[in-house]
Structure 1
């Protein structure tokens, strides 16, 4: 079996005219969105784009391979996808546009997006996710319109990005989600395109949210929405008319040991795929297994993933909105009190991190300290149950 890079090596010579855009192609572009294209890909509003080859050359003028490999984030290998893309006939006409990357600590917002232009006459496979080669496929033929894939980046290494993830547990609309809606509305109103919208992790959440709540004239251009191990939403969102209207266009793909894509509520059936790695490491798109032009279907989700979903849902259901806010604000106040802006910086001094957490907790009123201890205790018990379940099942099966 292979991953997305090997898929490009083996099938990159097959153009979209012979094999329609599929779920694996979607994951490739969602992974590429983690690449730092600042100052390389034109920003929104410029009306300009550059070729993949131009972006590739400019990126390696600014960064070395050793520098990329030395990073410790799970997505640090994303730029290397370009090595395989530029050698492929399938993506030879790919152009990049509308790159934006914003981190706003004051608003607890981390947002990044990019538009990939695939060209005209690009057919799209409407049901080509998990399954074997005989899996039914419905093809949407290409037409004269430009086909574009809007990719929202998932959570990066920033502390504020992870805080926004946590805020999804009580906020109906985060600043990042609002930016995702604005991105679609500002760029694609008055256009005549065939749009696909997607992303990995929080980027998948943004893709679904933006597609649901963008302007109706933009929504009509969207033919497919991809969320790749992206967390869900509060029930108020999934029960809304806007969400229900776009639901048939959503493709949700998660690894068999998903611990992220099963959070909150999505109210859609997931394609469950095989992935290498243990535990949370299956969140890495490069671990997802590919055969031919589709992901390798998993028989079912792992016991660890199911236990984590049950535990987190129970824990959240027992917490009021005020309790969720107390937990999140206290935790991230401690994270940020030492001046760190990324988790890489944060864990460089673990002793200081522990001291900061204890100091912030001690500064709370007695009642809040007791409530925080209770919530942390229950959270720890859930974590222990998940670990025990994983150990009994070999963590993967």
Structure 2
């Protein structure tokens, strides 16, 4: 896992020495795949990263995850390195919310990572392993707004009111799509607090979303990160700055690398 290599290389360098960067963003967006609801319940308090890791280890075997875990299931493995270095261990975690609704075809989850400098990274989960999550993906191809996207707006508007400081939004895959959509249609006072929106190989939008006033307002803040043969990140229309990175794997597997 390339992210693990980064942690071993830079984990002793604090954010005060080397500012939050695009790789840090990818790490925090990946952590949204952890089921914080299983650990604490929905929006239940604020916790240290080490506390999260210890509680997770009480409920799960890291060795089993290393041997048999899927891409989304392997996200907690990053915590093991993160809590042992100076870069991430002072981060606080809170305000988790998840909603899986088969009837409405909604798969949504998000969590806030509070950085030591007071900036809040709001991480939106991408597609999970449920049929509902994948079904919602297909809806994105022909609907301007899915139920998960609606939930993303509600979550951001609600959580931003209780958070102090600037906001960074991000997510992997569908989570990146939700991050942009939530920012575009959030209250204007919240838009002004958003300093960056990271879309990590997430799909784009239909033209009516791209051409909306809200989207145009946040466009300068969007940073899309895609692998060199991106498939998911090139679906529909994706405006804003794009950074192409070199991946060591081929084809669709670059999406999860």
Q: Say yes or no: TM over 0.5.
A: yes
User: 1:95·1:116 contact (CA, 8 Å) conserved in 2?
Assistant: yes
Q: Give the match for residue 31 of structure 1.
A: 30
Q: Give the match for residue 71 of structure 2.
A: 74
Q: Give the match for residue 236 of structure 1.
A: 208
User: 2:144·2:209 contact (CA, 8 Å) conserved in 1?
Assistant: yes
- Gaps of at least 5 residues in structure 1 are 121-145, 288-397
For residues 190 and 97 of structure 1, do their structure 2 counterparts lie closer, same or farther at Cα, with a shift above 3 Å needed? closer
Q: Give the match for residue 180 of structure 1.
A: 152
For residues 71 and 183 of structure 1, do their structure 2 counterparts lie closer, same or farther at Cα, with a shift above 3 Å needed? farther
For residues 91 and 158 of structure 1, do their structure 2 counterparts lie closer, same or farther at Cα, with a shift above 3 Å needed? same
Number of positions where the alignment pairs a residue of Structure 1 with one of Structure 2: 257
For residues 164 and 232 of structure 2, the distance between their equivalents in structure 1, rounded to whole angstroms, comes to: 34
For residues 5 and 70 of structure 2, the distance between their equivalents in structure 1, rounded to whole angstroms, comes to: 22
For residues 245 and 276 of structure 1, the distance between their equivalents in structure 2, rounded to whole angstroms, comes to: 35
Q: Displacement, 1:237?
A: 0.3
For residues 67 and 277 of structure 1, the distance between their equivalents in structure 2, rounded to whole angstroms, comes to: 24
Per-residue Cα deviation, 1:269-300 (whole angstroms, up to 9, x for no partner):
4210011112111111xx3xxxxxxxxxxxxx
- Gaps of at least 5 residues in structure 2 are none
User: 2:29·2:125 contact (CA, 8 Å) conserved in 1?
Assistant: yes
- Equivalent residue for 2:126, pick from 151, 154, 158: 154
Alignment root-mean-square deviation, CA? 1.5
Q: Give the match for residue 14 of structure 2.
A: 15
User: 1:42·1:97 contact (CA, 8 Å) conserved in 2?
Assistant: no
For residues 100 and 67 of structure 2, the distance between their equivalents in structure 1, rounded to whole angstroms, comes to: 23
Q: Give the match for residue 252 of structure 2.
A: 280
Q: Displacement, 1:266?
A: 1.1
Matched, 1:165 2:137: yes
Larger Rg: 1
Per-residue Cα deviation, 1:327-360 (whole angstroms, up to 9, x for no partner):
xxxxxxxxxxxxxxxxxxxxxxxxxxxxxxxxxx
User: 2:168·2:195 contact (CA, 8 Å) conserved in 1?
Assistant: yes
For residues 42 and 90 of structure 1, do their structure 2 counterparts lie closer, same or farther at Cα, with a shift above 3 Å needed? farther
Q: Tell me the TM-score normalised to structure 1 length.
A: 0.63
For residues 72 and 87 of structure 1, do their structure 2 counterparts lie closer, same or farther at Cα, with a shift above 3 Å needed? closer
For residues 192 and 37 of structure 1, do their structure 2 counterparts lie closer, same or farther at Cα, with a shift above 3 Å needed? closer
For residues 28 and 4 of structure 2, the distance between their equivalents in structure 1, rounded to whole angstroms, comes to: 12
For residues 10 and 71 of structure 2, the distance between their equivalents in structure 1, rounded to whole angstroms, comes to: 25
User: 1:253·1:272 contact (CA, 8 Å) conserved in 2?
Assistant: yes
For residues 42 and 217 of structure 1, do their structure 2 counterparts lie closer, same or farther at Cα, with a shift above 3 Å needed? farther
For residues 172 and 14 of structure 1, the distance between their equivalents in structure 2, rounded to whole angstroms, comes to: 42
For residues 81 and 190 of structure 1, do their structure 2 counterparts lie closer, same or farther at Cα, with a shift above 3 Å needed? closer
Bigger shift: residues 267-276 or 20-29: 267-276
User: 1:42·1:50 contact (CA, 8 Å) conserved in 2?
Assistant: no
